[in-house]
């Protein structure tokens, strides 16, 4: 009986207190007399209906929704049976995933290079709107969102801006460097150092005349060129001599920066121009083409890129709160790396036969002193492994077996009931079309995952990172698996 009196008193107090039209999660937790973390746990577990979110991803509750939370809080203390406002566990997927099919996933014409997203090219990176929507719908503020094939860090940037912690993994050391640069932000001290470097590169670039003798640009500091040019036998096949000298000069400046963040940002600017000033045709074509880069151009391009990156990283630091952490690990997923527990995974895995990152990034990795041969061995899905005519060439079964191993590992890292989202296209293998989403679902079933949704989306063929000549990918699937095994 005392418990019931207490209940009426509390509900009355709550009704009086709800005068605002929109209440925050903290408001509602306070009114219901529970800790905010408890409310977030109930929301995540599907015990309370998710409210709407504002454009920053913050939940806002209507007075009716707040009352429902308060009732649930009371019933969970005094009465184990839930009232009509609570959601039974079976409805969980319907409610969490229910809004997803109604979204326009094509995002035609959407701006994709805001904040740090556009600072470095990366083949097959997904547009930020995709992870943004999935993170908003399938996780809460303070959750940890992982991208197990993080590439250039698109998911990590979106997770941090939506007030989630982020965890990224990639076997490609270049991907990890770009991801760090995109997700670090830049403080005043780094900004000053980087703007000084920008000015230094611009001044030196402008001082070089088109007639400057090749191979003799910096006679006073010739040792720089000798010390910093990589030991790579095809260096002069891919770069003009004066470009090698300018790149060596820039690299020596970047390496000398004291702060890790500033160094990553400067090296990302350095890396961003390498394909353009080399004779490599493009980011997704490893064939030679003369480009006639004039002396000074490499330095000026570096200055432009660094200026843009510094600006983007400064804006990023203004938007993201430092309490949301980002951890990035360079690791082969097939080695079951150790990572923090995840609440949600959003990734675009490598497609069999579609890209060869170890090749496209060869000249960049050589200049940056990265272990390219190791990454070549570890890379999943590479065109090289699948297109070989040898009897050891990779097949659809290879991809399925690799995913079985990865999903087995993931089931113990992703919380039970958590979602793993894969944005995948089909591939063509020896003339046969391969449905990669089916292969991933099948591999997932063996590891305790269940497919709960698949959405088709049309890719924008004009996107720079999309190479229609390889793999013939025009549409892709957003595949969502639920972890029905794993830890609670
Ligand atoms: C399609 S890309 C991801 C692009 C990313 N979503 C973005 O927006 O930049 C796939 C990534 O998988 C990575 N990868 C390939 N094999 C891997 C492996 N064995 N372990 C970890 N990452 C791997 C590649 O290096 C590549 O960055």
Residues 51 and 151 in one domain: no
Residues 309 and 193 in one domain: yes
Residues 295 and 395 in one domain: no
Nearest atom in ligand 1 to the alpha carbon of residue 126 is 8
Specify whether the CB–CB gap between 245 and 218 falls below 8 A: yes
In a domain, 366, yes or no: no
In a domain, 41, yes or no: yes
Residues 63 and 138 in one domain: no
* CATH code: domain of residue 404: 3.40.50.150
Kindly compute the dihedral angle of the four CA atoms of residues 79, 85, 90, 94, in this order, to the nearest 10 degrees. -160
Nearest atom in ligand 1 to the alpha carbon of residue 151 is 27
Report d(CA 396, CA 127) in Å as an integer. Answer: 26
Query: What's the confidence (pLDDT) of residue 485?
Result: 84
Look up residue 234 and give its two tokens. Answer: 């095809």
Q: Is the CB of 48 under 6 A from ligand 1?
A: no
Q: Is the CB of 170 under 6 A from ligand 1?
A: yes
Q: Which of 36, 53, 87 is the last residue of a domain?
A: 87
422: domain range? 100-183+320-356+371-483
Element (H, E) at 477: strand 475-483
* CATH code: domain of residue 71: 1.10.1660.10
The count of domains in the chain is: 3
Give backbone dihedrals phi and psi of 295, rounded to 5 degrees, phi first: -55, 140
Report d(CA 297, CA 210) in Å as an integer. Answer: 9
Residues 434 and 473 in one domain: yes
In a domain, 75, yes or no: yes
Residues 331 and 276 in one domain: no
Percent pLDDT > 90 in the chain is 60
* Residue nearest to ligand 1 atom 19, measured at CA: 332
Q: Is the CB of 379 under 6 A from ligand 1?
A: yes
Q: Is the CB of 352 under 6 A from ligand 1?
A: no
Condensed to tens digits (0 to 9), the pLDDT of residues 284-304 reads 888 899 999 999 999 999 999
Residues 293 and 199 in one domain: yes
* Ligand 1 midpoint to CA 349 (Å): 6
In a domain, 342, yes or no: yes
CB burial readout 265-276, b (16+ within 10 A) else e? bbbbbbbbbbbb
In a domain, 364, yes or no: no
Give backbone dihedrals phi and psi of 175, rounded to 5 degrees, phi first: -60, -45
* Ligand 1 midpoint to CA 333 (Å): 10
Say whether pLDDT at 167 is over 80.
yes
Residues 439 and 462 in one domain: yes
Query: What's the confidence (pLDDT) of residue 88?
Result: 45
Q: Is the CB of 471 under 6 A from ligand 1?
A: no
Q: Which of 26, 53, 87 is the last residue of a domain?
A: 87
Q: Is the CB of 314 under 6 A from ligand 1?
A: no
Q: Is the CB of 328 under 6 A from ligand 1?
A: no
Q: Is the CB of 171 under 6 A from ligand 1?
A: yes
Average of per-residue pLDDT values in the chain: 86
Condensed to tens digits (0 to 9), the pLDDT of residues 168-185 reads 999 999 999 999 999 999
Residues 328 and 476 in one domain: yes
Residues 30 and 172 in one domain: no
Nearest atom in ligand 1 to the alpha carbon of residue 179 is 9
Condensed to tens digits (0 to 9), the pLDDT of residues 151-162 reads 999 999 999 999
Q: Is the CB of 132 under 6 A from ligand 1?
A: no
Out of 115, 123, 127, 149, mutate this one to test ligand 1's pocket (max ligand atoms within 8 Å of CB): namely 149
Report d(CA 141, CA 54) in Å as an integer. Answer: 12
């Amino acid at each position: 009986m005392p418990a019931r009196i207490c209940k009426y008193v509390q509900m009355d107090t709550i009704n009086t207190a709800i005068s605002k039209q929109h209440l925050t999660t903290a408001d509602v937790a306070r009114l219901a007399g529970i800790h905010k973390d408890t409310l977030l746990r109930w929301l995540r577990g599907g015990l309370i209906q998710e409210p709407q979110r504002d454009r920053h991803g913050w939940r806002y509750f209507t007075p009716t929704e707040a009352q429902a939370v308060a009732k649930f809080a009371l019933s969970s203390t005094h009465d184990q049976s839930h009232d009509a406002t609570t959601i039974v566990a079976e409805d969980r997927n319907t409610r969490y995933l229910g809004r997803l099919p109604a979204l326009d996933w094509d995002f035609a014409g959407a701006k994709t290079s805001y904040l740090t997203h556009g600072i470095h090219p990366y083949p097959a990176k997904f547009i930020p709107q995709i992870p943004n929507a999935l993170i908003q719908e399938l996780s809460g503020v303070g959750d940890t969102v992982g991208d197990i094939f993080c590439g250039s860090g698109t998911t990590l940037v979106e997770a941090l801006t939506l007030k989630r912690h982020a965890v990224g993994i990639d076997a490609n050391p270049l991907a990890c460097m770009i991801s760090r640069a995109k997700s670090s932000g830049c403080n005043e001290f780094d900004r000053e150092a980087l703007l000084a470097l920008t000015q230094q590169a611009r001044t030196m670039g402008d001082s070089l005349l088109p007639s400057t003798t090749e191979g003799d640009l910096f006679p006073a500091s010739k040792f720089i060129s000798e010390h910093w040019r990589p030991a790579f036998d095809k260096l002069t096949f891919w770069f003009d001599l004066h470009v090698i000298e300018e790149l060596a000069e820039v690299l020596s400046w970047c390496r000398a920066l004291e702060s890790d963040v500033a160094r990553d940002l400067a090296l990302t600017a350095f890396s961003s121009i390498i394909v353009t000033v080399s004779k490599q045709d493009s980011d997704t074509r490893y064939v030679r083409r003369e480009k006639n880069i004039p002396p000074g151009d490499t330095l000026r391009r570096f200055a432009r890129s660094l200026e843009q990156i510094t600006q983007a990283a400064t804006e990023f630091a203004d938007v993201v709160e430092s309490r949301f952490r980002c951890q990035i690990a360079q690791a082969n997923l097939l080695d079951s790396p150790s990572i923090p527990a995840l609440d949600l995974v959003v990734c675009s895995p490598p497609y069999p036969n579609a890209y060869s990152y170890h090749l496209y990034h060869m000249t960049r990795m050589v200049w940056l002193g990265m272990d390219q041969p190791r990454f070549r061995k570890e890379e999943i899905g590479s065109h090289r492994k699948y297109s070989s005519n040898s009897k050891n060439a990779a097949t659809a079964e290879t991809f399925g077996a690799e995913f079985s191993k990865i999903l087995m590992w993931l089931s113990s890292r992703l919380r039970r009931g958590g979602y793993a989202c894969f944005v995948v296209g089909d591939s063509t293998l020896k003339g046969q079309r391969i449905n990669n989403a089916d292969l991933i679902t099948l591999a997932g079933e063996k590891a305790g995952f269940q497919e709960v949704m698949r959405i088709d989306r049309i890719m924008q063929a004009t996107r720079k990172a999309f190479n229609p000549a390889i793999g013939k990918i025009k549409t892709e699937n957003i595949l969502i698996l639920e972890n029905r095994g794993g830890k609670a």
